[in-house]
Amino acid sequence: MISLVIYESKHKEALENYPLSEEQLGFTGHPIEMLKKVEMCPTYTPIVILDGEQVAGFFVLDTGDDKLNYTDMKDSILLRGYSVHPSFQGRGIAKFSMQLLPQFVMEHFPSIKQVVLGVNEANKAAQAVYLKNRFIDEGHRYLGSAGIQLALCLKVDQVIVRKAMPGDEQGIVDVCVAAQWNTYKNLYSMEYIEGVIEKFYTVDRIEKEIAETNRFWNGYFVALLNNEIVGAIGGGVDEEGIAEVYVLYLDPEKRNKGIGTKLLNYLSDVQKSKYGAHEQWVSVAKNNMLGIPFYESRGFIFQHEEQSYESNLEDQAISLKYKRKI
């Protein structure tokens, strides 16, 4: 299990026994030397990469002005002195630590929007690692003491929306199940919510719904925040160009970040451009004060009430039907 933690004194012995070759030291600082600088630089935060309880790597995050050598964005943080312990190389440590980095930065440095770093133009191996893990070369160069540095950046809070693909099933399940409980726990009975989850939000069902798409079921589309699925939407269009949003759920902890709007806009564009949709409908549970304001603020107009899809009268599940022109 790979994790990122802020350095503590208990990690020092492992870092003292941390061999780096002369070639590696030509491109990065030794962790112990970096720790000495931490004492003089209050903007430095030393980070340890752990594989279980073992120290597998090290780097520093710096909020100081040196980052401006690599970017004009003041809400950036500079990654410096990155290395993987030689005994742990070849195990994917770099890949996994880079995947964890955006979430770690959001948790510990909430005002930061991107991570920047300088990598020596001669260090092709490091360039490949960073570029494979969502760092971007925007063309900035900086002449440092060790030669020309390529300035690479990683957007910390970038939301990407795309069509769901095989492998997304569990992420969609996790989001939809969490949203079911968050949205309906005070509206419906536990038995009703569990029945909906068991019927519609299983890995097997969603696997089929990803693979089998058509006009009437356009498939799932997902929102990813730093490679994690945080939202999902799905819908269909009939032969007369009337579209419907069947599913739109977000990770409850990622609400109010514009993710729902991005998903709705993406699906709407697909339904208009691919299937000629001109009108869009959605069903919202009565008294769902998470969903109703969202749709009304995006131009949906209430039409009528009806019993919720595949519910029984004893469930007391009423849906409000809304529509808008698209």
Q: What does the pLDDT look like over 123-162, one tens digit per residue? A: 888 899 889 888 999 888 988 777 888 999 998 877 889 9
Distance CA 103, CA 87 (A): 26
Closest CA to 250 of 307, 171, 152: 171
Distance CA 175, CA 178 (A): 5
The two structure tokens encoding residue 152: 């690479």
Instruction: Write down all domains in the chain, each with its CATH number in brackets.
Output: 2-155 (3.40.630.30), 159-325 (3.40.630.30)
**Taking the model in full, what pTM does it have?**
0.62
Reported as a single tens digit per residue, the pLDDT across 103-119 is 899 889 988 989 999 98
Binning the chain into helix, strand and coil, the percentages to the nearest 5 are 35, 35, 30
pLDDT digits (tens, 9 = 90+) for 292-320: 999 999 999 999 999 887 667 666 789 99
Confidence (pLDDT) at 23: 64
Tell me what pLDDT residue 129 has.
Answer: 86
